[in-house]
Amino acid sequence: MLALLGGVLAGLAALGSCADAGVGIPPPDDQLFFPSGLLLDPRVEEGASARWLFVTNANSDLIFNGASLTAIDLDAFFAAWQDPVTFRPNGEVGDVEAALNEDRPCRRNTILPQVVECMEEPFLQGDKTVHTGSFTTVLRAHQREDGRWRLLTPVRGDPSIAYVNLPDGDGIDLECGHQEDSRDPRRCSNDARIRYLRNDPNYRTLGREPTNVLIVPQVKGIDHNGAPLARDLAFVTHTEIPEVTLVDLDGIAIQNGTSPAIIDIQALFSDQNLVGGYGLAVRPCSPPRPVAECAAERDLCIADPEQGQALCDAAYSLCVDGNAPAVTNNCERPLVYAAHRKTEFMLRMSVEQVALSLADVGGEPIALDYTCETAAKIEEGTPGGLLCEHRLVYIDQFAAVAVDSAQSVSGGFGDIAFSRDGNSLYAVRNSVGGLVRIDTSLDERGDTTDTPAAQVEVCAEPSAMVWFSDGATEYAAISCYRPGALYIVDLGAFRVVEQVFVGAGPHQMVVDAPRSYVYVANTLDATISVVDVGRTRSTRFTEVARIGLQEPYSG
C-alpha cells in the first residue's frame, strides 16, 4: 500500500503545470491493481509452457487516469518460488513477514502459511506495459492474416475495444501506437481502439458497457468480387444494453483495410429493463468424416497416455457421425449462444452475407448483378451498391432453466461453455449460485433441443468459469467473488469435488495446462492465485502460491 501511495505522490510531483494536472496520474507500470483479464501467451505451440502471462489491470477505483496491460514472466516466478539454490536462503522460502527484495522475492503468507506469496515487481515487465481506458474486462487473442498476434480487451469506462499488437517470436514489445514523447508515453493511441461502426466517426459508436468478446475464426464469406474468402469475426456483448456488436477482425475488405472494424450492431436481446448479455460460446460443429480418418485419429488418441479411452471413443463417434445443426448449413456459418446477464434466457444467433447464386456454368461463375461498395458510395446512390460484410442474424431465445428465479439485477448468467461434442451447454447461474447443464444435442430435424437437463449448486453469485482436463475427466473451475473461492465441478459426474479458497474478489481465470495450474485474478487484493490442478501432486485442488502480496498483510 505504501508503494502505491508513493507512486501516486510521484505522479503528482511529475505533473508540473495546471494543464498537465488535468491529464491525471498514469497507472503504475510495475504493480497489479484490480487485475481483471488474464491470458497466456498465444504464440506458444500447443503443449509447450508459456513464459508470459498477460494481465489487464482495470483501475476500478479510478485512482489513475486509466487501466494497463502488462506481462508477468512465469519462468522467473516459478524459479523464485521453486528454485532452492538461487532464490531461497538456506534452501527455504522466507517465513511469514520476512523482508523481501528482488533477490529474495517470496515468503509464506501470513494468513495461509502453506501458500507462498511473491512480490510482483521482479516479474512484471514494467518497461513494456501499455495504458488503456479504465474498467477493462476479459483479455482475448487473435492471430492476424500475416501470422502475428494481437490482444484485445473491452474497455467499459471508455466504450471501446482496445487492441495491442505482439511482436514475432517471444518478445513482449507491446505496440498500440503509443508515443514515447507524449505526457503519458505508454498510453495507447486512439487508432488502437475499436469504437466506430466501419471505423468512421460519422457513424454509430460502440454501445456502453462492452464486457465480453467471442472470437470465431474463419467464418465463410465472399469478397467484393464474389470470390470465396474467410473472415475472423468477434461477437461482443454489453451488460447494460440489449445490443450485440459484430467486429471483422481482418478489417473491411472493400476498403482493403487491416484494422479491426465494427460491421454490425443490433439489439438482439430483450429490450425490457435494458437487459444486456454476458456469456458467449459458439457451438462446436463438425460434418461427418470418413471412417478411416476417424479410426486413425482414435488410434493416435489412445496412444497418448494423457488421454482416456472414453474420451477417445467419444471423439471417434463424433468424427464419424458429425454434429452439424441444420441452421449452420453444414458448418458454413457459426451457431452462437449468448447468455442474458439479468434474466435466465439464452439467445441464439448467427451471421449471414448477401445471398449469392454463384453456381458454375461451364466452369465460370455467374456474373453478379450488384456491386459491393463502401458505405459512402451507397449513400451517394451508387446503383446496385450493397454492403457485403457479414450481418448478425437473430435465431431465437429460450428459457435456460426450468424455473426462472431471477428476482433482482444479480440474476441471470455469467460464463457459458460447450462440451467438446456440442451436445451440452454449461452456464454459470448467478441468481441461485449454480452450474446449469443444457441439452443441446440435435433432434431428428437437425435442430438443437435446448432443454435444461441438470443443475449443481455452487457458491453465491458466481460468474467466471474455465475448463480443464486431466485426460480422464473434464472439470469446470468457477470463481466465487464474495466468498473468495473456486468451486471445482466434475463435469462427468456433475458434482462439486472441491472448494478452493483464494484471494479476495476472484474473477477471471486462465488454465496453464502444461504446468497443471489455474491462475486466478483476485481483483480486490491485487494478487494472482496459483491453484494446483495436477492429477499426481499431493497439493491438487489447493492454492499453492500467489503473485503479489496480500494487503494489508504485506507489512
- What does the pLDDT look like over 138-157, one tens digit per residue? 999 999 988 999 999 999 99
Query: Could you tell me the residue ranges of all domains in the chain?
Result: 208-287+322-457, 291-321
Residue 7: alpha-carbon gap to chain centroid = 30
| pLDDT for position 405 | 56
Q: Which helix (H) or strand (E) holds 129?
A: none
Alpha carbon distance 96, 88 (integer Å): 14
**Average pLDDT of 232-254?**
92
55 band by pLDDT with thresholds 50, 70 and 90: very high
| pLDDT for position 302 | 82
Nearest of 343, 463, 460 to residue 403 by alpha carbon: 343
Across the chain, how many H-helices and E-strands are there? Answer: 6, 34
**Average pLDDT of 272-297?**
84
- Is residue 471 over pLDDT 70? yes
Q: How many CA atoms lie within 13 A of 421 on its CB side?
A: 22
Please calculate the CA angle 180-183-187 and round it to the nearest 5 degrees.
65
Alpha helices in 291-412 (DSSP H): 291-303, 309-321, 375-379
Q: Which three cell numbers stand for residue 144?
A: 492476424
**Average pLDDT of 373-399?**
82
| pTM as predicted | 0.88
366 band by pLDDT with thresholds 50, 70 and 90: low
Residues 34, 58 contacting (CB under 8 angstroms) = yes
Q: Which three cell numbers stand for residue 274?
A: 435494458
| pLDDT for position 470 | 86
Helix, coil or strand: residue 89: helix
Residue 246, classified by CB atoms within 10 Å of its CB into exposed (0-12), middle (13-18) or buried (19+), is buried
- Is residue 272 over pLDDT 80? no
Q: Which residue has the cell 451447454?
A: 425
Count CB-CB contacts under 10 A for residue 179: 12
Alpha carbon distance 390, 314 (integer Å): 34
Greater pLDDT, 55 or 95: 55
Residues 319, 294 contacting (CB under 8 angstroms) = yes
- What does the pLDDT look like over 349-358, one tens digit per residue? 999 887 544 4
| pLDDT for position 243 | 94
Greater pLDDT, 378 or 119: 119
- Is residue 27 over pLDDT 80? yes
Alpha carbon distance 10, 335 (integer Å): 51
- Is residue 84 over pLDDT 70? no
Tell me what percent of the residues of the chain surpass a pLDDT of 70.
Answer: 86
**Average pLDDT of 83-88?**
56
Greater pLDDT, 448 or 272: 448
Alpha carbon distance 26, 64 (integer Å): 6
Q: Which of 160-169, 248-257, 287-296 has the highest mean pLDDT?
A: 160-169
Q: Is 421 left (phi over 0), alpha (psi -120 to 50) or beta?
A: alpha
Residues 438, 453 contacting (CB under 8 angstroms) = yes
| pLDDT for position 10 | 44
Q: Which residue has the cell 523481501?
A: 100
- What does the pLDDT look like over 403-421, one tens digit per residue? 655 554 457 899 999 998 8
Alpha carbon distance 119, 121 (integer Å): 6
Alpha carbon distance 118, 74 (integer Å): 12
| pLDDT for position 258 | 79
369 band by pLDDT with thresholds 50, 70 and 90: low
Residues 155, 132 contacting (CB under 8 angstroms) = yes
- What does the pLDDT look like over 484-527, one tens digit per residue? 999 999 999 999 999 999 999 999 999 999 999 999 999 999 99
Q: Which helix (H) or strand (E) holds 397?
A: strand 391-399
| pLDDT for position 103 | 84
Alpha carbon distance 100, 329 (integer Å): 60
Q: What is the residue-averaged pLDDT of the chain?
A: 85
Please calculate the CA angle 415-421-422 and round it to the nearest 5 degrees.
45
| pLDDT for position 15 | 40
**Average pLDDT of 179-197?**
87
Enumerate the β-bridge partners of residue 245: 236, 265
Length of the chain equals: 555
SS (H, E, C) 441-502: CECCCCCECCEEEEEEECCCCEEEEEEEECCCCEEEEEEECCCCEEEEEECCCCEEEEEEEC
Alpha carbon distance 138, 158 (integer Å): 15
| pLDDT for position 381 | 75
- What does the pLDDT look like over 106-137, one tens digit per residue? 988 888 888 999 999 999 999 999 999 999 99
Nearest of 428, 406, 408, 423 to residue 507 by alpha carbon: 428
| pLDDT for position 117 | 92
| pLDDT for position 204 | 93
20 band by pLDDT with thresholds 50, 70 and 90: very low
Q: How far apart, in Å, are the Cα atoms of 321 and each of 114, 285, 317, 421, 486?
A: 49, 11, 6, 11, 36
Residues 494, 437 contacting (CB under 8 angstroms) = yes
552 band by pLDDT with thresholds 50, 70 and 90: low
| pLDDT for position 225 | 65
- Is residue 90 over pLDDT 60? no
Lowest mean pLDDT among 54-68, 159-173, 294-308, 459-473: 294-308
238 band by pLDDT with thresholds 50, 70 and 90: very high
67 band by pLDDT with thresholds 50, 70 and 90: very high
Alpha carbon distance 192, 400 (integer Å): 37
Nearest of 471, 462, 454, 466 to residue 520 by alpha carbon: 466
Label residues 302-330 b or e (16+ Cβ within 10 Å = b).
Answer: eeeeebbeebbebbbebbeeebbbebbee
| pLDDT for position 411 | 72
Per DSSP, 178 falls in state -
